[in-house]
Structure 1
Amino acid sequence: MSLDNAPDEVKLAVDLIMLLETHNIPVETALGALEIVRQDFLRKQQEATTGGVE
């Protein structure tokens, strides 16, 4: 199956999986880092929707 027509988030997910696996990142380390990234992007999304005002 080709990723050419896949949504961007699928392409990015595949790239991230390959990066983490290539560097033999332990599962717990990868999950912890991904949670940090998730929280950061959720904060950025919230700021974008509120104009930076909470």
Structure 2
Amino acid sequence: MSLATAPIEIKLAVDIIQWLEENQIPAAQVLSALALVKRDYERKLLAEQTSDQTHGCPKPGDKPPSQTKGA
């Protein structure tokens, strides 16, 4: 698989690793920062999912509402 056809997650990881290495960020600091980023994005994802449920936005895999409702 070439990077050009890789999933966005792979491309993002490669870009982040390259930036970290170019800037010679110590591994311990990288891991601490990544833990913070992971927690932040887990909260962000939970907020998005909660917002979607509150606003009635369908999620992938949700079944469409019944067409016989209210008939």
TM-score (norm 1): 0.89
Which residue identity is paired with 2:50?
A: T
Structure 1: runs of 5+ lacking an equivalent: none
Higher helix share: 1
Could you tell me the percent identity over the aligned residues?
A: 46
Q: String of CA shifts for 1:7-53, please: whole Å, max 9, x gaps.
A: 000000000000001000000000000111111100000001112x8
Structure 2 unaligned residues grouped into runs of 5+: 55-71
Q: CA RMSD in A?
A: 1.4
Larger RCO: Structure 1 or Structure 2 (Cα < 8 Å, ≥ 6 residues apart)?
1
User: Equivalent residue of 1:25, what SS?
Assistant: coil
Pairing of 1:1-54 with structure 2 (within 5 A): 2-51=2-51
Tell me how far apart the structure 2 counterparts of residues 46 and 2 of structure 1 sit (CA, whole Å): 32
**Per-residue deviation at 1:2?**
2.7
Higher-Rg member (1/2): 2
